[in-house]
A and B are shown apart, each in its own frame.
Chain A
Amino acid sequence: MNVPELPEEVLQAHVDGRLDPAHAEAVAAVLAAHPDLAARVAAWRLQKASIADAYASLVDEPVPARLVQAASRPAAAASTAARLSALPWQTRFALAAMLAGGIAIGWVVRGALPTGGSGPEAAVAALPRDAAIAHAVYSPEIRHPVEVAASEQDHLVGWLSKRLGRKLVVPDLAAAGYELVGGRLLPGNQGPAAQFMYQDATGRRLTLYIRVEPSAAPATAFRFSEQGTLRVFHWIDGSLGYALSGEFDREELLSIATRVHRQIAS
């Protein structure tokens, strides 16, 4: 049954389309002379395609929240607690004593030091990250990308404005080639957040994430960050923080961000 000039690794690589064109042609020529083997190769190819098909829909399923949580960087506090609890009690006792001293020192010098991880700066830093996570979770959705579709735009804007307690403006990006898909309400770190999704003719999506910033947050210029393959421009305007996310190059995203900013500010 086996054909000497076609060892099994060559046949498998042929099934997977991993031979260079000349080699693949030579294999096809040998297979033409061995119909039994050619039928097996065809069956293997079909079987490979049916495996891919059978599991394809799983990629479009919404990801359970507990997995998104597990994929997110564990809180520093949690890992510190875990490390502490792994220490023998004598060490923990000594550390606790040092910490108590540290807190006393910290209380005295607190006015002289920049605010730490919980101040407005930290909240601003969390904005692009939260926006990127929301983009990553919802933009691949085929069936449920938004809660309220663009066809009910008035209702959408009224509803989200009410929930955020601010009058929201949905930028019109048609001139840049992007139509509004719709929007949804999301949990932000200090209250509700809104996400508007846009899509171009090829199905490429971008999202605008908006949330209320604490009153202490200073207005900022555009800030750019990369979260994996995703790029985010964020800024703060008045009491609202905005983040525009998409898999675009920096220039393209900046030009859309400028457009958004101009419409919101006016």
Chain B
Amino acid sequence: MHEHDLIVLLPRLRRYARALAGDAGRADDLVQDTLERAWAKSALFRPGSDLRAWLFTLMHNVHVNGVRRRSPLDAGGARPPGQGPGGVEREDTLAALADPAATAEGDAAVSDIGRALAQLPETQRVAILLVALEDMSYQDIASIQQVPVGTVMSRLARGRERLRQLLDGTGGPASLRVVK
């Protein structure tokens, strides 16, 4: 496993994490936890196999298990920009250089469909995001979610139909719908 291969995948890991976790800070924490686990388990990675699929599997497990390096008290809480948990200055110097206008613009665009996605059961949201953002094969999604391909297909079908209703405004409250 070459670090360069990890670094070139960073923007895509961040994109998926943001869509999965919603909030930018939690998304980057998820990416960081995933990278740390990747190095800790690097001996298990078979050279020549698909690094992206492996990393997305790790990220999925980190996310599902809620394995968090930081204390649960920090999770989801508002924290001042540039400060990590406990008031420790974070090393986000490159992030601080990001054009704030571009970021705000991106977040505004994300919010509309993001809100609708957030109402889906996570299993459906994951399948939809991996296809839409990563163009991942159904087979790879099935192995990430540890279910048969048929289950991925029905998650896609139900999730997309539900999303259509939500975006049409004909969906009604999510709580009234029986979802598996």
Contact = CB atoms under 8 A, between A and B. Distances in A.
B67 interface: no
A47 B2 contact: no
A261 B117 CA distance: 53
B103 A61 contact: yes
A228 B51 CA distance: 11
Contacts of A66: 28, 32, 90-92
30 contacts: A8-B154, A12-B157, A15-B160, A43-B167, A52-B132, A54-B110, A55-B18, A57-B106, A58-B14, A58-B18, A58-B106, A60-B11, A61-B11, A61-B95, A61-B103, A62-B95, A62-B97, A63-B10, A63-B94, A64-B91, A64-B94, A65-B91, A68-B94, A70-B31, A71-B3, A71-B7, A133-B7, A144-B97, A144-B99, A228-B4
A44 interface: yes
Interface residues of A, number: 49
Chain B facing A: main interface SS: helix
B171 interface: no
A203 B28 CA distance: 29
Interface stretch (A26-34, A88-96, A135-143, A215-223): A135-143
Nearest to B11: A59
B133 A136 contact: no
Contacts, number: 154
Interface of A: 8-9, 11-13, 15-16, 18, 40, 43-44, 47-48, 50-55, 57-74, 129, 132-133, 136-137, 140, 143-144, 227-230
